[in-house]
Structure 1
């Protein structure tokens, strides 16, 4: 730190002028007159009046005082008989009132600067540093995935088919080979995986906050920031995980826009813990006066995809915008029943706008059409489980209908309007141990098999039984129980054990957004999970988790996942 940064204050113009005037006060002072004078003090004071630094009555008082004090100096010199000799240094006399004023103004300026720059106190930092918060976490995990030998080995990976497609579904013409197939039988043992997240939050003012967070990830999946190690020791990817601005119009309300953390009270049955939302949310939380009840709620609008109708050779401009949105609202309350018990519940409604696939107009990709007009309606991201259908209505080649190339994408057969109910009870039991019981129920209110058939024009390719009837459903639920010496793992020695059960019918929710660990993501799954956690130190804890799941309908697919990990937060 330089000397200039340690002490760089600027006294006011009044202080500087008064100091100069006082320094000149020892010179002979003429009587006040409106005419020009050779006395530098009076000329300077008059100049300060003209510049607006001094008021006239202040100037008159200063001149009067300077005249009087100069006369006193001259009288004292005459009485002492001392005469100035060559080489003598004359020390000007500064009046007491001027010294006091200079001291006060300098003190004010210095303290103001010291407060702004925080150098007046030891072990402090500039103000902008105190408004920045850095936070993050690192997780090191060992993971094993076990598949039952009796699983079907003919489960098509439709997410990969869409990503690499279109795929020719005509077995008479296809030169694409077999469609992409999910691994359902070959175990994946001892996968070394990491997750690292680093966020910076700045409190711009009392009402405004901005934040950015970076995270790892093997790809741009919205439901996982976990990175699998290996890959020839190559460097790992970093993604922009969050970027947002928050405004607080009141103590009980916030408005946040950008790429934000999940603003809803939910579980990983519906939304993965790593999922972030692209859009805006208004969140409120307010305790009821005189009661041990706090109400909360959220309204949000989030873009899930910006899509355009495809351009074809018969068109000269891009197609119309076909945007997809998630619109959600939630209302809940938390009741502090007593010192040992609390109850929290919430109800939410989520409308996924424009998410269902659309059957195309008749098109002929085999004849040179670059695309069909509803290719945009295929999901931007899928896991597995939803009922799917072929999007393209491809016209047969009249020269040889049986050998018409049928390159296809798939889309979602159902619409999704979700009712989401959450309930949680926290209690202190058995000498203060924390017991948490929670439940979550989701129902797709838009689920209608008749509309799925009409929307798909009968071209459904998943979730069909032997009679070619849809095997699906609109319901999902989970139960969770946890017991520990507290409800969080913050301090050294904290511990917790937990267990739960999940049941997710194929079209209870979009399969792209929930937990990517249970059944390795998606819907059409049921099973249990259990595990435990222990804090080795403050903000450092280990966890062991095991989940075992199988399909609800369709071909056999049982999956066990074991995860052993260490987490560090800062």
Structure 2
């Protein structure tokens, strides 16, 4: 039918051209108008028939497809699924400081991690973001192979404890004194013998292959320049691994604002700025501001019932972390850019003793300062007292010889470092700065791509939050300096091999190496003089 319509159209045009050559101007115009009108009608008829045939075929194909079997709410406009699977060889070795100076330890592990995520877009610019991942650690989704014996998915360890003590005649002891060299109970009975009963308590639970909610948040974008989020959400700030572990998803609220000035957009500013690129001519300037209000530590009850009528239970308050960031990214071309994003973060009072108590950073061998501050005997490694940190990450990237290059750095200073050091029992030091300087060459987007990346890092004892720093660098410890090297090669699209090496050594030998640590099985606060970390990853992302 299509062929007949086209042949008729051609014949009609030829006939009109012949008539136009012989007739007068008016007659030719009338015949031309009639020919055009007939052609338009035939084209409209053809278009209707083709659309009907296409719709019928498309409807049939979709009805028989696998996608037609998935039922979703009418409010869902789009669903994006993504995930990651990784196998890792990990080796960690360290040399002790302090009284164990010269002693060393080494640990090797095979590990895996799994992440499955979904971004569910709804009408009116609402979105639900969810990520499920292995491990309960906030700074890692890794699970050690063989950690649970005989391939168990989870294990529970228990420890025997004394559940009760009774006398040989069966009387339960609720009090006793020594009289004349003999044990006498509170009712005056002389104890001639005792018996104990044992109970067991759970000492450790290893969840093994269980999946946990690593991210769950609601998002709304009321305008194209404002994004609002709430829940357990991705880190909204431009940051480096010196200050923020990329595995950490803070809990609370965030607001992100962005305006683009100039001839076009090269993609969103921030952490994903290099992942999405839309080539446009001319220089553009992205102006952005990010704000976060994170619940750092919930105390459960702000006000509780008094335990007895003669006492008053003290009120308590949650601890919050607040961060503010204002930055800019100048896109000279789609490949050349400069970005700077200063931020400031601090904490409110409150929280439990672990987060609100004074950070120490030393271990149990430390000698108390001359003020004999007895609170130091807790040797707190996680306290966030006296932290008011200015952080300034900077990056400059360009393309040359068809290869991507970048130089980057970060500088942070705790404005309250002197008070933090004094409360830790070290009034004669400050140790409040941290900095990083590095470079990269190459990119990793498709099969055959490669990248080399490295930096030098210096993190002083009282400069940063020990709970947020990347534990893949210096084992998550402060008062350390050294370098980190990484090489990546793309085996195919989405599959890469990554080799990483980190070396660090203690900065101030009079201080511990504060932080959670743990890769070498040490107790919190155990001081290290130096360490080496090696990672070999096979990584798959989709």
**Fold-level similarity (TM above 0.5):** yes
Contact 1:222 1:513 in 2 (8 A): no
How much has 1:529 moved relative to structure 2?
1.2
Cα deviation per residue 1:192-217 (whole Å; 9 max; x = unaligned)? 11111111221111410012111111
State how far apart, in whole Å, the 2-side matches of 1:407 and 1:385 are: 11
How much has 1:152 moved relative to structure 2?
3.6
Are 1:519 and 2:474 matched, yes or no? yes
Contact 2:447 2:491 in 1 (8 A): yes
Provide the aligned C-alpha RMSD in A. Answer: 3.7
Question: Which moved further from structure 2: 554-563 or 294-303?
Answer: 554-563
When Rg is computed on C-alpha atoms for both structures, the one with the higher figure is: 1
Contact 2:418 2:429 in 1 (8 A): no
The aligned residue for residue 421 of structure 1 is: 392
Distance 1:408 1:526, change over 3 A: closer
Q: 1:228 aligns with which of 128, 137, 144?
A: 144
The aligned residue for residue 298 of structure 1 is: 290
Contact 1:309 1:376 in 2 (8 A): no
Matches within 5 A, 1:155-174: none
Distance 1:425 1:227, change over 3 A: same
State how far apart, in whole Å, the 2-side matches of 1:536 and 1:477 are: 34
The aligned residue for residue 348 of structure 1 is: 343
State how far apart, in whole Å, the 2-side matches of 1:283 and 1:565 are: 33
The aligned residue for residue 213 of structure 1 is: 131
Q: How high is the TM-score relative to the length of structure 2? A: 0.63
Q: 1:200 aligns with which of 104, 113, 118?
A: 118
Contact 2:290 2:326 in 1 (8 A): yes
Contact 1:347 1:421 in 2 (8 A): yes
How much has 1:424 moved relative to structure 2?
0.4
Contact 2:111 2:142 in 1 (8 A): yes
Distance 1:146 1:389, change over 3 A: closer
State how far apart, in whole Å, the 1-side matches of 2:97 and 2:377 are: 28
Contact 2:421 2:431 in 1 (8 A): no
Are 1:134 and 2:81 matched, yes or no? yes
State how far apart, in whole Å, the 2-side matches of 1:562 and 1:384 are: 29
Are 1:334 and 2:309 matched, yes or no? no
State how far apart, in whole Å, the 1-side matches of 2:485 and 2:359 are: 23
Q: How high is the TM-score relative to the length of structure 1? A: 0.60
Distance 1:535 1:382, change over 3 A: farther
Where 1:558 maps in the other structure, the secondary structure is strand
Contact 2:457 2:483 in 1 (8 A): yes
Distance 1:387 1:445, change over 3 A: farther
How much has 1:135 moved relative to structure 2?
1.0
Structure 2: tracts of 5 or more residues without a match: 1-51, 154-207, 264-282, 367-373, 513-527
Cα deviation per residue 1:65-114 (whole Å; 9 max; x = unaligned)? xxxxxxxxxxxxxxxxxxxxxxxxxxxxxxxxxxxxxxxxxxx9xx99x9
Distance 1:563 1:503, change over 3 A: same
Cα deviation per residue 1:40-74 (whole Å; 9 max; x = unaligned)? xxxxxxxxxxxxxxxxxxxxxxxxxxxxxxxxxxx
Q: 1:544 aligns with which of 479, 499, 507?
A: 499
State how far apart, in whole Å, the 1-side matches of 2:64 and 2:223 are: 33
How much has 1:377 moved relative to structure 2?
3.1
Q: Count the aligned residue pairs.
A: 380
Contact 2:358 2:383 in 1 (8 A): no
- Structure with greater proportional strand content: 2
Cα deviation per residue 1:419-441 (whole Å; 9 max; x = unaligned)? 11011011112x11111110011
Where 1:331 maps in the other structure, the secondary structure is strand
Matches within 5 A, 1:349-364: 349-354=344-349
The aligned residue for residue 497 of structure 1 is: 452
Contact 1:351 1:417 in 2 (8 A): yes
State how far apart, in whole Å, the 1-side matches of 2:242 and 2:250 are: 16
Where 1:268 maps in the other structure, the secondary structure is coil
Contact 2:342 2:391 in 1 (8 A): yes
Contact 2:303 2:316 in 1 (8 A): no
State how far apart, in whole Å, the 2-side matches of 1:209 and 1:422 are: 29
The aligned residue for residue 78 of structure 1 is: none
Matches within 5 A, 1:75-154: 119=62, 125=68, 128=72, 131-148=78-95, 151-152=97-98
Cα deviation per residue 1:322-380 (whole Å; 9 max; x = unaligned)? 2101111111111112354211111111112227xxxxxxxxxxxxxxxxxxx933228
The aligned residue for residue 185 of structure 1 is: 104
